Structure 1
Amino acid sequence: MLYILGAVVCESASILLNKRMPVPLKPLLQATTMTGLGLLVSLPVAFLELPVAAPSTAAIAAVVWYALVPTVGGFLLWYGGVARVRGSEAATFTAVAPLTAVVLAALVLGEQIGWVQALGVAAVILAILVLTFPIQAKPRSLA
């Protein structure tokens, strides 16, 4: 749970920092940077595993597919969309990733959704609704 929270916080910070830059990075550069950083972080652990289990051709193909389609493609779509909305809207929707994970875990993996998870999902959806549709204050009359 802390890893997911950390991922959401880091993604939100990344979006907001890019919005504050005098010249925001282009989506392709952002996707390349994020993918490259992910590769650098994971390589040391991958090399530790290499002597234990040599990767099969199918495993290498799966990594290449995952690197190109959901990672690079996902980043391109995400950062392209983020460039078109306010930072607060984009940061709010980073919460969709954990919701998707919970739903897919239940549907694809058959995991049980307990009351704690259901409460968390409801809280995230409520937060998204509140942050997406802020309540407008009524103007005060001068009378």
Structure 2
Amino acid sequence: MKAAERLALAAMEAQQQKALDASQGAVRTRDKWQSAQRAQELRVFLYRLALTLALLVAAGWPFAKKRKSTYWPFVWGFIFFALLAFFAELVPYLPSFGGYVRYIVGIVITVLVGRHAIVSLNRYLKEQKLAKLLPDAQCRE
């Protein structure tokens, strides 16, 4: 009976060892899978970053050089496209701060556009004051 008990305990320990080996193998496999998944996500992020940065640079040059030319609608359209690509491609990869990234970018854009509008309005008003100082003949021209 003791020999049968020892045999049963040995068989049980062998089964427990097999179960432990299987669970450790599953953990190693899961770790390898997670590592491969992180590497793939990083690669996709880098591709998206390269595409988006190239678009932003390509939109920056026409903005700096051609925004007051005849083709200004195309320039602004391309700028909006590059910004949309930025928000669609990269923002999902940024850490989640409860949407604060989009809010901060919105605030910055609002401040920049508002400042540009104020400067333009002041320049226009200054030109109007200078036009009033000119003689009537020159104003009519």
Q: Does TM, normalized by the shorter one, top 0.5?
A: no
State the structure with more CA Rg.
2
- TM norm structure 2: 0.30
